[in-house]
Amino acid sequence: MSNPLVKTALRVFESRFTVDYPDQREALPDNYRGVHRLDMKTCISCSACAKICPNNTIDMVEVQTERGPKMMPQVNLERCLFCVLCEEVCPTKCLVLTKNNELEAFDRRELIKRPEELE
């Protein structure tokens, strides 16, 4: 049986278990679902995404566009299941889930993303 102090000293030279975030990031699988992205120019305000959402995560809110006011999806990431139903039902494919997995926030209200924040 070897000395515990020697074992501890040898562990210093072993490889790390974690990555140096944010300089290094974990590789995400191809089917990973992260934060939503919205193309406001192609959204037709059909609200299909809000109707299909099982958690009522998506609300339609009014946004001022070049052509006047328009209803667009606002996403509450705190309640989202990332089930991708909203992406599948979107007729213009303007709402998609990305590989962005950075969901940190100091206040829950920061997790409610207005349409302008989803671009």
In whole angstroms, how large is the CA radius of gyration of the chain?
Answer: 21
Q: Where are the domains of the chain?
A: 28-118
Per the CB < 8 A criterion, the answer to whether 97 and 35 are in contact is yes
Q: Amino acid letter at 103? A: L
Provide the strand spans (E) within 33-105. 36-38, 58-65, 68-76, 95-97
The CATH class that applies to domain 28-118 reads alpha beta
92-107 residue pLDDT tens: 999 999 998 888 889 9
Tokens of 67: 């052509």
14-71 residue pLDDT tens: 776 676 766 777 788 888 888 999 999 999 999 999 999 999 999 999 999 888 899 9
Per the CB < 8 A criterion, the answer to whether 94 and 42 are in contact is yes
Instruction: Give CA torsion, residues 96, 100, 103, 105, to 10 deg.
Output: -100
User: So what's the pLDDT on residue 55?
Assistant: 93
Which of these, 47, 113, 51, 106, lies nearest to 76 by C-alpha position? Answer: 113
